[in-house]
Structure 1
Amino acid sequence: MTARIDHTTTSGTFSLDGGTWDVENNVWVVGDDEQCVVIDAPHDAAPIAELIGERTLLAVLCTHAHDDHVTVAPELADRFAAPVYLHPDDVELWRMTYPEGEFFPLADGQTFPVAGIELEVVHTPGHAPGAVCFRAADLDAVFTGDTLFQGGPGATGRSYSDFDTIVASIRSRLLTLPPATVVHTGHGPDTTIGDEAAGADGWTKPE
């Protein structure tokens, strides 16, 4: 069977630095009819579980530990007997939501086989210290969480984030991918590496 990308959105809130904002998050499920992985687990387990269906869930892969991306990660892990993976540089953010919860560590260059393809971990700090992207070269796709959106870098105005770091990550780790690579983001519409590279000279640090 051929690997495919399934998608849904969930709505909820994001809280950090004493503020709370309403957000809508993308959820990506990569696999075939037999097995899959989930990339980010925000807000509500029900629509994610519906996408998984009767398949074997191999892992819940977190692009970073902001609470809107990991809201139901342990719940899904328990329900489907699957491990949660997160880059260890995000442990402080993780502990804000799950003081006792555990996860398995992600490492740059690590690969996850699923449905005959591989997802490669690409460490892209900046939006969060442990932010990662997952590249699926066989699908001409990369899942960027909140690192890269249509129109440029993710937000860096809150704790644990840095504009210069995120731009360096994007330029060195993402814009070097083939221009036709589809960028599946954590919020909002898809884009491509080529489209974002074309506008990269205009990226400026927010005031």
Structure 2
Amino acid sequence: MAARGARIEHLVTSGTFSLDGGTWEVENNVWLVGDDEAVLVIDAAHDAAAIERAVAGRIVVAVVCTHAHDDHVNAAPELADRTGAPVLLHPDDLPLWRMTHPDRLPDRYLADGDVLSIAGTDLTVVHTPGHAPGAVCLHAPALGVVFTGDTLFRGGPGATGRSYSDRPTIIDSIAKRLLTLPPDTTVHTGHGDSTTVGAEAPHLADWVAQDD
């Protein structure tokens, strides 16, 4: 089915990521999917005002969090307040969410297989734990893309050296839930450059070997 005008927009915001007593400077990808009337915001990172400017007066149907590390959710409540949009998160990431927003819960919870629709395009929620327990990806077949947050990057899996993460779990998620997508699927990541499923799939054996 044609996407009926849905398009992908991208901005980069800067700030910090803090966990387990450490803090690092980071740049995050923020993705907008929609048309001239309405958009879905994926990962409201660092700067609600900048994201609102990119929204440019359109309806925000939801602020979707791929996971709850602070650099991916720190601007979500403010953006929701500015736009009236609900914040969506997988419930397995509530412990991480509460570290950043102890007094404000997400508005709705995501589940594997949920479908979010925007501008005639469906995005399917794919639960991909490992980097975080409630990490999700959003697959939009009509656009030929998957938004992977910090689960899969250009060059390998997301980091698993901190609390609430597990490397064998993320490898399993990538192998079973992401690398099974069409090879020409574009992978839009939470940080850095995009890639494709076909570019990353040949390296799976190397990632598994690193666990041995």
- Structure 2, unaligned runs of 5 or more: none
Within 2, Cα distance between the matches of 1:46 and 1:128? 27
Asked whether the 8 Å contact 1:10–1:25 carries over to 2, the reply is: yes
1:150 and 2:142 correspond = no
Aligned with 2:34 (options 31, 36, 41): 31
Corresponding position: 1:59 with 2:56: no
Partner of 1:166: helix, strand, or coil?
Answer: helix
Q: What is the match of residue 93 of structure 2? A: 90
Q: How does 1:1-207 map to 2 (within 5 A)?
A: 2-103=5-106, 104-203=108-207, 204-205=209-210
Answer yes or no: is the 8 Å Cα contact 1:31–1:115 preserved in 2.
yes
Q: Deviations over 1:63-89 (max 9, x none)?
A: 000000001100010110000000000
> Quick check: 2:168–2:211 contact (8 Å CA) kept in 1?
no
TM-score (norm: length of structure 2)? 0.96
**In the alignment, is the contact (CA less than 8 A) between 1:124 and 1:166 conserved in 2?**
yes
Runs of 4+ in 1 over 4 A off after TM superposition: none
> Aligned partner of 2:46: which letter?
H
Q: In angstroms, what is the RMSD of aligned CA positions?
A: 1.1
Report the Cα distance in structure 2 between the residues aligned to 1:188 and 1:206, rounded to whole angstroms. 24
Taking only the aligned residue pairs, the percentage that are identical comes to 65
Structure 2 CA distance for aligned equivalents of residues 206 and 67 of structure 1: 27
Once residues 94 and 82 of structure 2 are traced to their aligned partners in structure 1, the CA distance between those partners, rounded to angstroms, is 23
Q: Distance in 2 between matches of 1:194 and 1:37?
A: 26
